[in-house]
Chains A and B, each alone.
Chain A
Amino acid sequence: SYVLTQPPSVSVAPGQTARITCGGNNIGSKSVHWYLQRPGQAPAVVVYDDSDRPSGIPERFSGSNSGNTATLTISRVEAGDEADYYCQVWDSRSDHPVVFGGGTKLTVL
């Protein structure tokens, strides 16, 4: 089945830009979705279809996807952004259509 690879951790100082990557074979041909998960809470989508934001998600969250890497970019990072982030794709040609990345812990220094 399709595999998505994320770095286990990313650290950034407040006010700086965090970039969280999600690697996959020709992932640029798929739609990538990103979730934020705070401790003890369910995941919540912050970016869908590579770069769209649900209502209520700040413009500081943006996404891109090309080649073998998709990226979630968080600008002007705040302490409240500290969380686990997961990427996800839908592999329609697979009998295992839903694939999550392993998750990245964002630490705000």
Chain B
Amino acid sequence: QVQLQESGPGLVKPSQTLSLTCSVSGGSINSGTYSWNWIRQPAGKGLEWIGRVYASGSSNYNPSLKSRVTMSVDTSKNQLSLNLSSVTAADAAVYYCARDIGTAMGYWFDPWGQGTLVIVSS
């Protein structure tokens, strides 16, 4: 079955760019019409959708983060990436990657990666 694993620096300085990678195993990132999503969760708080990217490279972002977010895929490595620029303390969170699944009626997320904690501090 498909498994996801996030990786990247756990500590980012304010105003710098957060860069994370999600490695996909057990299946090809190219298969099907799935989108690959980034979702974050600040400590003690709820889930926030950051955006999604398709194997084709097309993407959609949360309007509240759109000006700072870039997502991409590397099909040769079976990976997707997240860049979030100009980070502040408000961007500190556990970051998850997740694949969507569903129909035109609606999509949900399965599976999820285990998540990676990002701290923003100088």
Asked whether A43 lies within 8 Å of B47 as measured between CB atoms, the reply is: yes
Asked whether A30 lies within 8 Å of B47 as measured between CB atoms, the reply is: no
Kindly name the residue among A44, A86, A88, A98 whose own CB sees the greatest number of chain B CB atoms within 10 A.
A98
- Which A residues touch B64, using CB under 8 A? 96
Asked whether B46 lies within 8 Å of A42 as measured between CB atoms, the reply is: no
Interface size, chain B (Cβ < 8 Å): 25
0/1 interface trace, chain A 72-87, chain B, CB 8 Å (1 if under): 0000000000000010
> Given A86-B46, A100-B46, A101-B46 in contact, is the A31-B106 Cβ separation under 8 Å?
yes
0/1 interface trace, chain A 39-52, chain B, CB 8 Å (1 if under): 00111110011000
The DSSP consensus for interface residues of chain B is strand
- Min Cβ gap A60→B in Å is 20
Kindly name the residue among A35, A43, A89 whose own CB sees the greatest number of chain B CB atoms within 10 A.
A43
Binds A, one of B15-23, B69-77, B108-116: B108-116
Interface size, chain A (Cβ < 8 Å): 28
The answer for the CA separation of A8 and B47 in the assembled complex, in Å, is: 14
Chain A residues with a Cβ under 8 A of chain B: 1, 30-33, 35, 41-45, 48-49, 54, 86, 88-90, 92, 95-103
